[in-house]
Structure 1
Amino acid sequence: MQAQTPNGSVVEANMNTISVGDRVTYVKMTPSAGGYRFSVKEVTVQKIEGNAATVRSKNGRTSLQPLSKLTPFGQPNALTRALLGDA
């Protein structure tokens, strides 16, 4: 999302629409024999502290993820945007 500044230039707007209880996704990168493997994880936000969120995966495990890495469920995530663009 972009925001217009008073002098006419365009800057990236920083709007965090993620809250506790929301379903979100993030991209996980793991090394493999031939390079790297990318996967999209669907999780639920359990707690937000500063710029990080504690998230719970479907198998019950929790992890700490930066808010900048999380995308609301149903919206194009970082892997989709990298492969298909922002269309």
Structure 2
Amino acid sequence: MVPLRGGTVQDHVALAEIELCGDLIIAASAAEDRLSLESIDEVLRVAEARAESSREQGPPPAGPAGSLRSASCGRWPATPP
């Protein structure tokens, strides 16, 4: 194994995703019931990301339900299993 120069490597995108996942876990554990899609978007700061994206490159393309959640995440069941 070759030692890394400089000690550590940081992937800023991965760190941001980990922070968002942590925020989502905290919100879900504090909720009395399942989080609504709107609540999830709020926790993930979707509106902020859209505003930043539109400032940088114009309006984002329309997606299903207007959210940044990926279709590859699968469908969330309406009722618990």
- Greater share of helix: 2
- Greater share of strand: 1
- TM-score class, shorter: under 0.3
Greater relative contact order (Cα 8 A, min sep 6): structure 1 or 2? 1
